[in-house]
Amino acid sequence: MADLVEPTQWRDRSVLVTGATGLLGGWLTRRLTDAGAAVVCLVRDAAPASQFSAEGLAERCRAAAGDVTDQALLERLMGEYEVETVFHLAAQTVVGVANRNPVSTLESNIRGTWTVLEAARRSPRVTEIVVASSDKAYGDQPRIPYTEDMPLQGRHPYDVSKTCADLIAASYATTFDLPVAVTRCGNLFGGGDENYNRLVPGVIRDVLRGRRPQLRSDGTLLRDYLYVEDAAEAYLVLAQAMMAGNVPPGSAYNFSMNEPMTVLDMAKRILRAAGSSLEPEVLGSASHEIHAQWLDSTKAREQFGWEPSVGVDAGLARALDWYAKRLSGAA
């Protein structure tokens, strides 16, 4: 598929990215700087193993140290750097961490969202805000796949944090006509994810170490997987549509492969891609997990012409290469 990202739209454009050291944030920042955007990144903690650090992206943009819940700092960044487009990605994204320590997740994901939106509301140069939600915002639904018109009904801490962030974004759009749109993606994977308790990086690391990979769940959970570079392109395509006035404030969009698979099938797919004969060990220890969830991305495909251009198998090959270099110290 032809690349839908138009570099002329981004050249010299002032863009703020929160969560730049995260999986998606690193790849999105790389894509923006490659397109010539003037990128400002909000960075809470140093992350030397992240994509952001590995590719020296801090040297290609302005990196400000601070927390996403610091409204005064966000207003200063948006004002002094004359920010036009905001990508709000900063969040605590690990479900297990949210279950063990919910307060930090609720602080980052809920308070962080209203802080960014309030700062943007007070910054007249901002014309687009893209807020990262999740498929988890839908909670447990009576039917799948999830479509954008379904109610948001998260029940567990991480899911609730995303449901709330999603609703807060809709509230700011409705009440203040703030130009905000929401993205809901499936499980993102790719090089740069240092959360090895997640399925893809965890299995890849085990395989590269010659260890039998362990699956926390019973292996039957049905999930949606999207390669991170496909997701980064989706965010840019959505923002371009917002620039053109083609996205009503408060709109939400699913981005996915539309190819659900079980956790066990995904693990075996990774093993095949690595040429490994190891067999996964199914622990069945995961709790508070929705059994089946995946997204219907028809709306985004029809409105924007977006399609994943890399896909799962090619994405896994790229991820394996990235981690092989990273874990050998050569990345």
Mean pLDDT of 210-218: 92
Q: Which residues pair with 130 in a beta bridge?
A: 87, 181
Q: Are 251 and 170 in contact (CB under 8 A)?
A: no
Distance CA(231)–CA(69), nearest Å, equals 25
Rounded to whole angstroms, how far apart are CA atoms 152 and 150? 7
pLDDT digits (tens, 9 = 90+) for 259-286: 999 999 999 999 999 999 999 999 888 7
Whole-number pLDDT of residue 15:
98
Active-site positions read 158
Higher-scoring residue by pLDDT: 186, 299 = 299
Tokens standing for 22?
């995260």
Convert the pLDDT of each residue in 109-127 to its tens digit: 999 999 999 999 999 999 9
Structure token digits, residue 21:
């050291």
pLDDT band at 45 (very low <50, low <70, confident <90, very high): confident
**DSSP summary character for residue 325:** H
pLDDT in tens, 302-322: 999 999 999 999 999 999 999
- Tell me what percent of the residues of the chain surpass a pLDDT of 70: 97
Please give the pLDDT value at position 58.
81
Residue 331 is predicted with a pLDDT of 44
Any idea which fold 10-189+226-256+293-310 has?
Answer: Rossmann fold (3.40.50)
Residues 6 or more apart from 230 whose CB is under 8 A from it? 255, 257, 308, 309, 310, 311, 315
Residue 326 pLDDT exceeds 90? no
Asked if 316 and 225 count as a contact pair (C-beta separation under 8 A), the reply is no
Per-domain residue ranges for the chain? 10-189+226-256+293-310
DSSP string, 12-27: T-EEEEESTTSHHHHH
- Judge contact between 40 and 83, C-beta under 8 A: yes
pLDDT for residue 52 is more than 70 = yes
pLDDT tens column, 140-177: 999 999 999 999 999 999 999 999 999 999 999 999 99
The answer to whether the CB of 255 falls within 8 A of the CB of 297 is: yes
* Residue-averaged pLDDT of the chain: 93
Which residue type occupies 246? N
Q: Dump strand ranges (E) for the chain.
A: 14-18, 38-43, 62-65, 85-88, 128-132, 180-185, 187-189, 214-215, 222-223, 225-227, 252-255, 261-262, 281-282
**55 pLDDT band (50/70/90 cuts)?**
confident
Question: Can you give the pLDDT at residue 154?
Answer: 95
Q: 48 pLDDT band (50/70/90 cuts)?
A: low
Give me Rg for the CA atoms of the chain. 19
